C-alpha cells in the first residue's frame, strides 16, 4: 500500500505523540527509491554529497547547481518522505534576498518540499524571509559543517554551561523565526534533551543522543559506502564498500579466466541467418594479423 505523503505537520504530530522521526540523506534516484521504500520519514539531500559523492574534502566547495542536480534526481523517485534540500555554503549567508531566491529554486526547480540552513539566532531574519515566501525551513545548530574553519574543526558544541545556553537561545530564536524543525549536530546529550524539551518543534539529532525527537544519518555512513572515515556518532549497518570491491574483483577474475560472459549471457542467431553470415565472411579478405605490443 502506498504511503501517505509526509509533511511538516506530520513531523509536528510525531513530536506531540512522542513517536520518533526517521531521517536520512539520499543523493540520487536509486537511493531515494530504496530509502523511501524502507519507510523513512524525511529524506535530506544534504551538502554532505560534496564529500561522500563528489570527493571534496568538506562541504564548502558544493555549489547550488550541484545541489539542484542531485535534488532533482531524488525528486524523480516521487518519495512519500518529506524532501529537504540543503542550502550550500554562501547560498544564503551574504544576502537575504538571494537566500530566498535560492531556497525557492529548491522547490520550484528541484521538487523539494523544504530547505535546511545552518546557523543560530544570526540566521533568524533569513529564516523569517524564506518562511514568508512560503518555503518551510529546517534549522541546523551545534556543529555546523559550513562553519568548520570558524569552529576549529570537527568539535562537539555546547560542552560548557555558557555554550549550552547559547545553543538553547539559538534554538528558541530559530523556532520563533518559523523553522518547522531543527537539526542538533554533535551536541552533548543533556543539552540536546533540554532543547528538545523546551521547543514546540521537533529536534533531529546527529551525534546528539537519544532524547531528540528524531535521528538523521548520512546514508553512506550507515551502509558503509564511504571509506574515508566513519564518524563516532554513526552506526554502520552494512559494509557495501567492501562488498563492491569483492564483487568487482570477482568480475575481473571471471573475465581473465574467460568464465564471463557465459552462454546464458550471450545471444544467438537463426541457423539460416548464421549460415548466410558465415558465407559472407568467407567471401571477404582475411583479417589482418594483430600487431604485437613492443
Please compute Rg for the chain using Cα positions: 25
pLDDT interval class at 1 (50, 70, 90): low
> Which of 171, 97, 109 lies closest to 138 in space, CA to CA?
171
Q: What is the rounded CA–CA span in Å between residue 123 and residue 177?
A: 9
Kindly tell me if the per-residue pLDDT of 294 is higher than 80: no
Domain ranges of the chain: 8-238, 245-282
> Which of 45, 37, 7, 41 lies closest to 23 in space, CA to CA?
41
Residue 55: Cβ-neighbour burial (10 angstroms; 0-12, 13-18, 19+): exposed
Pick the CATH number of 8-238 from 3.40.190.10, 3.40.50.2300, 3.20.20.60, 3.40.50.720: 3.20.20.60
The catalytic site residues sit at: 185
pTM of the model: 0.93
Tens digit of pLDDT for each residue in 124-135? 999 999 999 999
Kindly tell me if the per-residue pLDDT of 292 is higher than 90: no
Render the burial of 269-280: b for 16+ CB within 10 Å, e for the rest. eeeeeeeeeeee
Tens digit of pLDDT for each residue in 70-103? 999 999 999 999 999 999 999 999 999 999 999 9
Determine the pLDDT at residue 151. Answer: 87
Q: What is the rounded CA–CA span in Å between residue 145 and residue 79?
A: 27
What is the β-pairing status of strands 203-206 and 214-217? parallel
Q: For the chain, what is the mean pLDDT?
A: 95
The residues with which 44 forms a beta bridge, in sequence order, are: 25, 84
Tens digit of pLDDT for each residue in 146-158? 998 888 888 999 9
Tens digit of pLDDT for each residue in 37-54? 999 999 999 999 999 999
Q: What are phi and psi of 174, to 5 degrees?
A: -70, -40
Render the burial of 103-118: b for 16+ CB within 10 Å, e for the rest. bebbbeebbbbbbbbb
Q: What is the rounded CA–CA span in Å between residue 19 and residue 189?
A: 19
Tens digit of pLDDT for each residue in 167-177? 999 999 999 99
Amino acid at each position: 500500500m502506498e504511503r501517505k505523503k509526509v509533511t511538516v505537520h506530520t513531523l509536528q504530530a510525531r513530536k506531540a505523540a512522542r513517536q520518533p522521526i526517521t531521517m536520512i540523506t539520499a543523493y540520487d534516484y536509486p537511493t531515494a527509491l530504496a530509502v523511501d521504500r524502507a519507510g523513512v520519514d524525511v529524506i535530506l539531500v544534504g551538502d554532505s554529497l560534496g564529500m561522500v559523492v563528489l570527493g571534496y574534502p568538506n562541504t564548502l566547495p558544493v555549489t547550488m547547481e550541484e545541489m539542484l542536480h542531485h535534488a532533482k534526481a531524488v525528486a524523480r523517485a516521487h518519495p512519500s518522505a518529506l524532501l529537504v534540500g540543503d542550502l550550500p555554503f554562501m547560498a544564503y549567508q551574504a544576502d537575504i534576498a538571494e537566500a530566498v531566491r535560492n531556497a525557492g529554486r529548491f522547490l520550484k526547480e528541484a521538487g523539494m518540499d523544504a530547505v535546511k540552513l545552518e546557523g543560530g539566532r544570526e540566521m533568524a531574519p533569513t529564516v523569517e524571509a524564506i518562511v514568508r515566501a512560503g518555503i518551510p525551513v529546517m534549522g541546523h545548530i551545534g556543529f555546523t559543517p559550513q562553519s568548520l574553519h570558524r569552529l576549529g574543526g570537527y568539535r562537539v558544541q555546547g560542552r560548557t554551561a555558557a555554550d549550552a545556553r547559547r545553543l538553547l537561545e539559538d534554538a528558541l530564536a530559530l523556532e520563533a523565526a518559523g523553522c518547522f524543525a531543527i537539526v542538533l549536530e554533535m551536541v552533548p546529550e543533556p543539552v540536546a534533551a533540554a532543547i528538545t524539551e523546551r521547543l514546540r518543534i521537533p529536534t533531529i539529532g546527529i551525534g546528539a543522543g537519544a532524547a531528540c525527537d528524531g535521528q538523521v544519518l548520512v546514508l553512506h555512513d550507515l551502509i558503509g559506502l564511504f571509506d574515508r572515515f566513519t564518524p563516532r556518532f554513526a552506526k554502520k549497518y552494512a559494509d557495501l564498500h567492501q562488498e563492491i570491491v569483492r564483487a568487482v574483483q570477482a568480475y575481473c577474475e571471471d573475465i581473465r579466466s574467460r568464465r564471463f560472459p557465459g552462454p546464458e549471457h550471450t545471444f544467438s542467431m537463426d541457423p539460416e541467418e548464421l549460415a548466410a553470415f558465415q558465407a559472407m565472411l568467407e567471401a571477404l579478405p582475411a583479417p589482418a594479423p594483430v600487431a604485437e605490443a613492443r
